[in-house]
Amino acid sequence: MAKGAYFYANGKRKNAIATVRLFPQGSGNITINGVGLREWADHEHMVRNILQPLVLLGMKSEIDLKVITKGGGKMAQSEAIRLGISRAFVKKDVTSKEQMKKEDLLTRDSRVKERKKPGLRRARKSPQWSKR
């Protein structure tokens, strides 16, 4: 893993938080919570999700990433990682911001689970109504 100067950014999705360190002079190593990308990701869709900003800019083999994720599920974590990588790239090179915006990679998906209300089974599902 590369040492030295890096660009730092956070990404969030639902309850997942990803802290991303982007090392510009790297060899394409991606470490998530101390494990390689392929070992961490359960599905190929997660891998594609995480690599999307790297593929868009053509920097897949030129940088190293060190990511720490907490909270949420794996899919939410992968989307948080994608947002963190995109934000770190914008800090590294402001000219990439327009490309990222066009692909909707800088938008934080703010949807979270709605809380359960008293008297209901879930957030909006009510008990079955009985006439008698």
**pLDDT over 70 (residue 1):** no
As assigned by CATH, the class of the 7-102 domain is: alpha beta
Map the chain to HEC letters: CCCCCCEEEEEEECCEEEEEEEECCCCCCEEECCEEHHHHCCCHHHHHHHHHHHHHHCCCCCCEEEEEEECCCHHHHHHHHHHHHHHHHHHHCHHHHHHHHHCCCCCCCCCCCCCCCCCCCCCCCCCCCCCC
Give pLDDT, residue 60: 87
**pLDDT over 90 (residue 108):** yes
Give pLDDT, residue 8: 94
Question: In this predicted model, what pLDDT tens digit does every residue of 6-64 receive, in sequence order?
Answer: 999 999 999 999 999 999 988 899 999 999 999 999 999 999 999 999 999 998 888 99
Domain ranges of the chain: 7-102
**pLDDT over 80 (residue 94):** yes
Judge if pTM exceeds 0.85.
Answer: yes
